[in-house]
Amino acid sequence: MNVQAAPLVNATRFRLAHQGDWERLEELVTRLEKKSLGHLDDDDLLALPALYRTTLSSLSIARDTSLDRALVTYLEQLCTRAYFQIYGVQTPARRQVADFFRTGWPVAARDLWKETLVCSALMVLSAVIGYLLVSGDPGWFYSIIPAELAGGRDPAASAEFLRGTLYDSQESLLTTFATYLFTHNSQVAILSFALGFAFAVPTVLLMLYNGLMLGAIYAVFAAKGLGPNLAGWLMIHGTTELLAIAIAGAAGLRIGTAVAFPGRLTRAALLVKAGRSAATAMIGVVVMLAAAGLLEGIGRQTITSDVFRFLIGWSMLTFWVLYLYVLGGRKRMA
């Protein structure tokens, strides 16, 4: 006569022997899920891995001895939750944000300092060329600056009109050009990075074109004796915005050179390596562009003193240089 074999382990006694450990592990895991590792005391931290191993052993026994399915399911879920709390990356969102601003962004920007210098030099050089071209022949202005961007600020404009665009408090004289210029520069920053994979050629061209535009606009105002006045008007947000463009261009150059000159590494491996710094830097660029937008929308339309405009512009540039290249990211660099 065949008699069905009884389970090798009595379910009731098995529960009584181990349920205390399971309940304590569940309580610790629940606390970790709701709070963080810092909310556990030393005894709990020491007990957590031991309780996890004990529960894993219980799960193995429950499976092998065909205990009731509900118990097996409970232990599987508990072990899965415990695994992610013990071995998973449990960094709170606020900690990730703090780490980004404290170390991640400055380190990424510092890693791109050579490319940033190259992009800055390209814009300065092309700005000088744009200024010389328009100063020598005002007709060049119309080949460089789109009509919708110029908005009447061209070589044919009078000194009174140009001065009014810099100091008149009426929104109509300030907003159109300022908004278009900010939108243009934001697009240049994003495209400089996004098109870097094409051997960095589009990135270089965008840096050159952006500088040409600045030089051409400056030549128009300088011809009417308003060059320094335009510089002050632009500097409130320009130092932040142009540095952001240079960093975005640097990220694009890093990607482009990784594609063009992989060296001993494969292109895929070098792109992954280059992409880490470039992507982190670009998140910072978005932050800088947002800051530039605030400076443009508030400061430039309410501050009409050239002295204060220059002061704000140089102060922002000093802040970014100190934060990104001197003070920020020290812990990670150590």
Q: Are residues 166 and 32 in the same domain?
A: no
Residues 134, 40 share a domain = no
Read off the pLDDT band of 259 (50, 70, 90): confident
Domain that holds residue 46: 11-90
pLDDT of residue 160: 93
Identify whether residues 37 and 147 lie together within a single domain: no
Contacts of 99 (CB under 8 A, 6+ apart): 91
Residue 4 lies in a domain: no
pLDDT at 173 over 50: no
pLDDT at residue 191, rounded to an integer: 86
Q: Are residues 301 and 199 in the same domain?
A: yes
Place of tokens 């998140």: 283
What is the pLDDT of the chain when averaged over all its residues? Answer: 84
- CA 115/CA 244 separation, integer angstroms: 13
Instruction: Establish if 35 belongs to a structural domain.
Output: yes
82 and 105 assigned to the same domain: no
Instruction: Give per-residue pLDDT as tens, 177-224.
Output: 566 666 777 788 888 888 877 888 999 999 999 999 999 999 999 999
How many independent structural domains does the chain possess? Answer: 2
Residues 203 and 256 in one domain: yes
pLDDT at residue 137, rounded to an integer: 97
Q: State residue 200's pLDDT score.
A: 85
Is residue 6 assigned to a domain?
A: no
Is pLDDT above 60 for 89? no
- 204 and 328 share one domain: yes
Convert the pLDDT of each residue in 120-132 to its tens digit: 999 999 999 999 9
Among candidate residues 63, 90, 117, the one where a domain is terminated: 90
Tokens representing 331? Answer: 């812990």
Share of the chain above pLDDT 70, in %: 87
How much of the chain is helix, strand and coil, in % rounded to 5? 80, 0, 20
Residue 178 confidence (pLDDT): 60
Cα gap 34→11, rounded to integer Å: 32
Nearest to 224 by CA among 162, 177, 165, 167: 162
- Distance of alpha carbon 131 from alpha carbon 177, whole angstroms: 19
Please tell me whether residues 57 and 176 are part of one structural domain: no
This model's pTM is above 0.85: no
Examine the domain organization and report whether 199 and 57 are in the same domain.
no
pLDDT at 92 over 80: no
Q: Which of 207, 209, 191, 205 is nearest to 143 (CA)?
A: 209
- How do residues 48-57 score in pLDDT, each as one tens digit? 888 989 999 9
pLDDT at 84: 82
Output the pLDDT for position 304. 85
Could you give the percent of the chain with pLDDT greater than 90? 46
101 and 80 assigned to the same domain: no
Q: Centre a 10 Å sphere on the Cβ of residue 41 and count the other Cβ atoms it contains.
A: 8
Q: What is the pLDDT of residue 152?
A: 84
CB 227 within 8 A of CB 163: no
Tokens 């810092």 identify what position? Answer: 38
Cα separation of 62 and 78, whole Å? 14
Q: Please give the pLDDT value at position 181.
A: 64
Burial class from Cβ neighbours inside 10 Å (0-12, 13-18, 19+) for residue 51 reads buried
Residue 228 has pLDDT above 90, yes or no: yes
Higher-confidence position of 18 and 150: 18
Q: Within this chain, do residues 211 and 152 fall inside the same structural domain, yes or no?
A: yes
> Identity (one letter) of the amino acid at 231?
A
User: Does 122 share its domain with 67?
Assistant: no
| Token duo for residue 213 | 């535009």
Residue 168 binned pLDDT confidence (cut-offs 50, 70, 90):
confident
